[in-house]
Amino acid sequence: MTVRAPSSLHSPHAPVMLHEMLASLNIRDGARFVDGTFGAGGYTRAILDAAECHVYAIDRDGTVEKFADALRASHPKRFTFLSGAFGDMERLLADAGVDSVDGIVLDIGVSSMQLDEAERGFSFKRSGPLDMRMAQTGVTAAEFVNNASEADLTDIISHYGEERAAKRIAKAIVAARAEAPFETTHQLAALVAKTIGRGNGKIDPATRTFQALRIYVNDELGELVRALEAAEKLLAPNGRLVVVTFHSLEDRIVKRFFQSRTGNAEETFSRHVPVTANANAEKPSFTQPTRKALAASEEEAAVNPRSRSAKLRWGIRTDAPAMTEPFIPAKEIRHAIF
């Protein structure tokens, strides 16, 4: 079918690689889709506008309810919002009476709304409470920074932030918090800048530390692993899995998932942990029309800087049973990607 252009993109979050996502998802009348990262609803609206299909949208951030309300009003019979984490999508969908879908899309990461609202504490550019919790429950970034051991801080900042100066930053955090606990994003950003300097000025020195804390506080990699495994179980034969990521840690997980499930697990997952090869390589649970990640077009990159780091990978579910073995054990995630 021809994918119809979305009717409305007036949104506080510019959806990234929207057209590539629509083209990969095989949207058609009567089909059921999951948008695991609803956000401002840009993807969901475009999918609903493309055909007479149903979208089950998931988000763990309660502040997106207002965008869900707008879609409930415009598409009352074809839109269902499920509040929760996409790592729990099997249960969330089962509660809605759904055990199989035709397509699942994930647009991983934070939304522009989350970054722009200082009080959410995601941004080193705006001073706000050092929070970073998408679901607004659990341990805040401040609680972690103020209580974690120096070794744990080093570990998290080094692994999740890919920050070479992690040890120095962790040491400086421990010394500074003995004077006064960290409360704001600016306090931490200033300490990181003071500790490691401004570098070549291309990116803020706090970028990697903030990325690490955000990934830790929201268990972002664990969520991604659980979602990929759930998608394998939920997708009907010929169903599509489309994942857009924004940094290499996530992209590597998605890439290795597809390698494992298409029977192309010839590379090792890391120096330490071999990827789980498909036990039945004759019957892979996914095929991939292209194993190369798609990137945003030059046109999109010119108007939306956020799209420059985006990578889209997608696969098609076969009729083989889902593998029972996890493609990577959750407890190994942090160590497995390095």
Ligand X SMILES: C[S@@+](CC[C@H](N)C(=O)[O-])C[C@H]1O[C@@H](n2cnc3c(N)ncnc32)[C@H](O)[C@@H]1O
The contact set with ligand X (CB under 6 A) reads 11, 13, 15, 37, 39-43, 58-61, 64, 85-87, 107, 109, 111, 134, 223
CB of 304 to ligand X, least distance (A): 12
CB-CB neighbours of 22 under 10 Å: 22
Nearer residue to ligand X within complex by CB, 34 or 166: 34
Left, alpha or beta for 288 (phi > 0: left; psi -120 to 50: alpha)? beta
Residues 152/214, Cβ–Cβ less than 8 Å: no
Q: Which residues pair with 244 in a beta bridge?
A: 107, 312
Nearer residue to ligand X within complex by CB, 165 or 221: 221
Nearer residue to ligand X within complex by CB, 125 or 168: 125
Nearer residue to ligand X within complex by CB, 60 or 177: 60
- Rounded Cα–Cα distance for residues 249 and 311 (Å): 12
CB of 5 to ligand X, least distance (A): 15
Nearer residue to ligand X within complex by CB, 111 or 209: 111
CB of 54 to ligand X, least distance (A): 17
CB of 182 to ligand X, least distance (A): 23
Nearer residue to ligand X within complex by CB, 75 or 171: 75
What are the tokens at 319? Answer: 């009729």
Residue type, 213: L
- Rounded Cα–Cα distance for residues 60 and 57 (Å): 10
Contacts for 222 with CB less than 8 Å, ≥ 6 apart: 87, 330, 333
- Rounded Cα–Cα distance for residues 154 and 166 (Å): 5
Q: CA neighbours within 13 Å on the CB side: how many for 79?
A: 23
CB of 259 to ligand X, least distance (A): 22
Helix (H) or strand (E) holding 218: none
CB of 16 to ligand X, least distance (A): 7
CA 217 to chain centre: 13
| Strand 79-83 with 294-295, pairing | unpaired
CB of 286 to ligand X, least distance (A): 21
Nearer residue to ligand X within complex by CB, 167 or 308: 308
